[in-house]
Structure 1
Amino acid sequence: MGYQDEWLLLEAEDDIDEVEHRQPTEEFLFYQAVTKGDVKAVKENCEKERFLDSEGVGTLSRNPITNLKYHFVITTAMITRLCKQKGMELEQAFRMSDFYIQRLDDVHTVQGIRNLHDEMVLDYTDKMRKIYGSDTNSRHICVCKEYIYSHLKERITIEDLADELGVSASYLSRLFKKETGDSVSAYIRRQKIEMAKNLLQYSEYSIIDIANRLSFSSQSHFIQQFREYVGITPKKYRDLNHMIQWDIET
């Protein structure tokens, strides 16, 4: 009997254990946090030991250690390609991948694999953080951008940012406009809309849930802002893009 026949018989069995796989939302947002250099979010994910959580995750091997190693390799491959797309130099991205996968050969415990996973994802995240911070913006503006990204779910004001940096709101407003070409409020709005696009595409959150999650004053305000920025309503955007393939180069 060939493998295809064996699979067809397995699928036909009534008593086969049905495993409902995780929705890709959480996984996608984790990968996005890595490629954005969001060290805080990635650390929180590691502390929750989500990598070790087997609920909703496919079984790739009956041996638990081998199964975890397979998932490690998949995670490393995904992160490598996404980081490359977001600006990491190709040779660096793949050398890091080779390094961590080769180190996996010497690890033979669940805790050891988990520790290596956390080290790997934080290494990529820290390097992406440096890539995002290596533009021509001053330190104040780089800190502003990091703060905004880390607090997208909140209502952020110029006063919040000024307090964070210990400068006046008027000075920061002028500096931000000079260095980025955007007002602070326009930049914050654009980042929220970009996050909303991801949630519409990769999650099952309702439009009102997304509006609330990103601290828009109302659903109608969110729809208005989204339409101004994207050119179509959130519903239309979801209808066109929901659950399309992730943009990962082969």
Structure 2
Amino acid sequence: MNDIKKLAEILNADVIFLNLTTKNADYLDDTKANSNNEIINFLLTNIELLSNHQYQSLDYNSGHILTCQVTDEVIICLSFNYVDPQTNSSELMMLHSLSNLKSISQIIYTLYNFQDAPEEDVLITQFSDKKRIKTEPQQEFDPNIFFNTETEIIKSIVHSHENQLSHALTKFENLKIIGERFASNNLIRGEKDTLISYISVLNRAIVQWGYPVDLAFQLHNELVQEIELSPQFLDFFQVIREITWHYYKVIKNYRMNNFLPLHKRIKQYIKEHITENITLDDIATALNASKKTLNPAFKNEYNVTITQFIRQTKIDTAKELLIASDLTLLEISSLLSFSTNSYFVKTFKEITGITPNYFRQHFFDQHLHL
């Protein structure tokens, strides 16, 4: 199970072990045992339904759970919580796990059984308010309902109203707004256009609220880049939910940042700008701090220099991309702002002891300790 824990850490997910015989569900990480009983209750309430399909994505308004039945008695679940402030996925990583649900499920199966995984599709299901799994019927597109719901989402984001946002997303997902309305001959292109349009609306709203224009454009550009790189969207509305909650966390974190100590603001800045070539001058300017104070404050708290943390964070992000996406090494290197692909490979090997290609090809090896 250690390798599955590693996979979950790379993907910023929690692991839940579900036993169909004893009807028990537990987090593998003991520190998470009481962190989200609602998720455990969801799983136990629907335990019979979970055994009906090899791989499932169980969606709810603030996250999703990917389940893989690895034996007749055991289901391994990866829980992705979009609202959890401890999750640190950047814009770069937001959509890749949703685009590769099948491959991630097969990785879980192989890591547990040490054999090839079945070729099954991922079944997409939703949690209703009654905690039962079902697919809600979609309403025909109504421009007035769409506009009002979109406005409610924007207000919830800029005022950090979590419950109102969850309620608005419930209404939003029942509208028939998928991309085929805009490009009937090309569903994927239509979905991408719809997502890009939605991001533009959210971006304009947070700028009007007071979010810095340069940061908003960076957020917009990185999300659009990831959308364009995604080969498919198995669950279109889950992508909308993840994007929406990401904007919610961006605004909430920005509102709180002025009250954080310097070392936490440095860490937050690095994670938000991990796709850039970050310098100490950039950090000092952005945080309105003296360049001389940055490393002492950071190293005193985390026992590493800022440069070391930047390198480690870039490689951690690269690991997730190698597992949860089909991007080439050159594309990953470029996305993470390495000067050359060879420098990316060199840095990856210095930190992990292996090359990126070896990591991608041999992740199943139970003897890897990364």
TM-score by length of 2: 0.36
1:78 to 65, 75, 83: 65
- Following superposition, the deviation at residue 109 of structure 1 comes to 6.2
Q: How does 1:140-219 map to 2 (within 5 A)?
A: 140-219=262-341
Q: Deviations along 1:173-206, whole A, 9 cap, x unmatched?
A: 1111111111000001111001111111122221
- Equivalent position of 2:233 in the other structure: none
Is the contact made by 2:62 and 2:81 (CA closer than 8 Å) also made in structure 1? no
Q: What CA RMSD, in Å, does the superposition of the two structures yield over aligned residues?
A: 4.4
The structure richer in helix per residue is 1
* 2:271 aligned partner, one-letter code: Y
| Identity fraction in percent | 26
- Following superposition, the deviation at residue 172 of structure 1 comes to 1.1
The yes-or-no answer on 1:230 pairing with 2:352 is yes
* 1:196 aligned partner, one-letter code: A
Higher relative contact order at CA 8 Å, sep ≥6: structure 1 or structure 2?
Answer: 1
- Shift of the 186–114 alpha-carbon distance from structure 1 to 2, 3 Å rule, reads same
- Following superposition, the deviation at residue 212 of structure 1 comes to 1.4
- Following superposition, the deviation at residue 139 of structure 1 comes to 2.3
TM-score by length of 1: 0.50
- Equivalent position of 1:51 in the other structure: none
Determine the C-alpha separation between the residues in 2 that align with 1:233 and 1:175.
32
2:172 to 98, 109, 113: 113
- Shift of the 107–208 alpha-carbon distance from structure 1 to 2, 3 Å rule, reads closer
Structure 1 gap ranges (5+): 1-31, 36-69, 89-96, 243-250
- Following superposition, the deviation at residue 128 of structure 1 comes to 11
Determine the C-alpha separation between the residues in 2 that align with 1:130 and 1:100.
29
- Shift of the 139–108 alpha-carbon distance from structure 1 to 2, 3 Å rule, reads farther
Is the contact made by 1:83 and 1:128 (CA closer than 8 Å) also made in structure 2? no
- Following superposition, the deviation at residue 124 of structure 1 comes to 8.6
- Following superposition, the deviation at residue 209 of structure 1 comes to 1.7
- 3-state DSSP class of the match of 2:304? coil
Q: Deviations along 1:142-191, whole A, 9 cap, x unmatched?
A: 22222211111110011111111111111111111111111000001111
- 3-state DSSP class of the match of 1:204? coil
The structure richer in strand per residue is 2
- Shift of the 187–74 alpha-carbon distance from structure 1 to 2, 3 Å rule, reads same
Is the contact made by 1:207 and 1:219 (CA closer than 8 Å) also made in structure 2? yes
Is the contact made by 2:136 and 2:174 (CA closer than 8 Å) also made in structure 1? no
